[in-house]
Amino acid sequence: MAKRNGSSTLSENVTKKLKSDILTGQYKPGSPLTVSELTKGFDVSVAVVREALTRLATQGLVLQNPNYGFSVKTASEEELNSIVEARLINESAALRLSIAHGDLTWESNVIAVHHKLSQTAEYEEVDHKLFVREEWSDLHRQFHYELIAACPNPLLLDICRRLWDLSEFYRHWSFQQQPTRDGRDEHKALMDAVLGRDSDRAVEIFRTHIQLTADNLFDNR
Amino acid sequence: MAKRNGSSTLSENVTKKLKSDILTGQYKPGSPLTVSELTKGFDVSVAVVREALTRLATQGLVLQNPNYGFSVKTASEEELNSIVEARLINESAALRLSIAHGDLTWESNVIAVHHKLSQTAEYEEVDHKLFVREEWSDLHRQFHYELIAACPNPLLLDICRRLWDLSEFYRHWSFQQQPTRDGRDEHKALMDAVLGRDSDRAVEIFRTHIQLTADNLFDNR
DNA sequence: ATATTAACAAGAATCGATTTTGTAAATAGA
DNA sequence: TCTATTTACAAAATCGATTCTTGTTAATAT
């Protein structure tokens, strides 16, 4: 850091990096985010770090206690259920709108991303333990995002994006260690329903898919 | 300002005040929010003002162009429709959940707020023009909020709150000048459906209510 | 020995100054 | 006269230092 590149600001870059660090599990839930520590790590001033933390706090990824500082958001099964419920509500609606408005380009984009996703390995083994691969994780996100991309309501899409971020946080900090199912078939079925413009069916598959994914996170601990 | 009171921070207070100023129409949509101007107005440092602006920008009430500064969000009929649609989706869902979970205390709170609202005048005349009274506006917000208050999903409630803020912005900057209808009956019907635990009917009334309110804002210009 | 107050330290919040950026006016060259 | 480059200026972004808060420990008193 310490030097600006392009027309973006230091604050933007630090926000992006810090968010990514939190979402990829670099900090434990609830652990303090000391401003002075972060200034050293990023080699920027307090103003920049504070601005980044303030942004993330407003988005719900960071907790702010006045006069007590910032900390990474905590995790609970209860909250995960709230997130899943909110996602079901908003992403289902966005999905219906997307199916109603999507054009040919959108269709081919969906197919393209699905193909990549289906051909990418989900897990990798490190020290005799399985972890979700970042590449698969990115594609998974892209796939779900592409499904709703034709929704003409930018506000709704923004809500979906933020809820996805919150979900993402749990993927790294749940008690789940072993993969118990393969979502590949579900993704295929979901895509088929979407391309067939069958909203009801698509939403139904999506509902099951996301519910199962969430259930898995806190089961088998 | 310039002096802290209680355990709250300057940033919090400035954020609150600035947000209120924007929502009550103190600044025109799109008008620049110069940091140095605001520091003078609030008698605080740039850090505090920037933090407030950053918060509001993340919430969508303020626009931020990197290296170009902040400005009040703009208004368009298109965006209002997006907001209304997002509110319908989220507030309907919250309403159903609230009706399903609300207890006796909640019921009486709904009745209490509705009574206040029904007994409060909506408009006042200033210079031969009618304006919505702040007191009524607050109660209106409280009423709608109380209806969904028993929803056990805090995330969903937060989304509703933020969408309400965005709607609030339009109430002051729409082209509508003359009141064209009275929502009193609709509020009564909505409350009755809610207390009767009739979710479908409540959502239906709510849908009509919010749609008409939004339509009015951009009609009769 | 316990309760209360005072001193201290760590970190948050705030400040005023410095650096960088974008815009528009001024100058130079075709 | 018109375009291209330079210069000047205002505002944004960033910095490092100062001031406040809060929690903890040491000191004093009951």
A89 to B86: CB separation less than 8 angstroms, yes or no: no
E strands, chain B, are 32-33, 62-65, 69-72, 123-126, 129-132
Q: Which residues of A touch B12 (CB under 8 A)?
A: 66
Q: Hey, which residues 142-171 in chain B have their CB within 8 Å of chain A?
A: 153-156, 158-159, 163, 166
Query: Across the interface, do A83 and B155 touch by the CB < 8 Å criterion?
Result: yes
In this prediction, residues A118-124 reach a mean pLDDT of 92
CA gap A50, A47 in Å, rounded:
5
Rounded Cα distance between B117 and B146, Å, is 12
User: What mean pLDDT is predicted for residues B83-89?
Assistant: 97
Q: Please give the pLDDT value at position B4.
A: 41
What's the confidence (pLDDT) of residue B72?
A: 98
Q: State how far the Cα of B133 lies from the Cα of B149, in Å rounded to an integer.
A: 24
As a whole number, mean pLDDT of residues B57-65 equals 98
Predicted local confidence at residue A130, as pLDDT: 81
For residue range B143-178, what is the model confidence (pLDDT) as tens digits?
999 999 999 999 999 999 999 999 999 988 776 656
> For A37 and C12, how far is CA from C1' in angstroms?
13
Residue A128 is classified by DSSP as T
Cα–Cα distances in angstroms (integers) from residue A31 to residues A28, A138, B2, B6, in the given order: 6, 25, 32, 26
| Tens-place pLDDT, residues B109-128 | 999 999 999 999 988 888 88
Across the range B51-78, mean pLDDT stands at 97
Q: Is the pTM of this model over 0.75?
A: yes
Q: Quick one: average pLDDT of B24-45?
A: 96
For strand C, the positions having any atom within 7 A of a protein Cβ are 11-17, 20-23
Domains of chain B, CATH where assigned: 2-72 (1.10.10.10), 77-218 (1.20.120.530)
Which bin fits A124, alpha (ψ -120 to 50), beta or left (φ > 0)? beta
A11 touches strand C (CB under 7 A): no
pLDDT given for residue B219 in this prediction = 64
CB A29 within 8 A of CB A73: yes
Q: Is a pLDDT exceeding 80 seen at residue A221?
A: no
Residue B177 contacts residue B130 (beta carbons within 8 Å): yes
Q: Is the CB of A35 under 7 A from strand C?
A: yes
Over its C-alpha atoms, chain A yields an Rg (Å, rounded) of: 19
Residue A172 confidence (pLDDT)? 83
Residue A8 forms contact with B (CB below 8 Å): yes
> Could you tell me which residues are beta bridge partners of residue A123?
A132
* B69 beta carbon to strand D: under 7 Å: yes
pLDDT, greater one: A6 or A23: A23
Report DSSP letters for A156-215, one per residue.
HHHHHHHHHHHHHHHHHHSS--S-----HHHHHHHHHHHHTT-HHHHHHHHHHHHHHHHH
Q: What is the pLDDT of residue B172?
A: 83
**What's the pLDDT at A19?**
98
Residue B3 has a pLDDT of 42
Q: With an 8 Å Cβ cutoff, is A26 touching chain B?
A: no
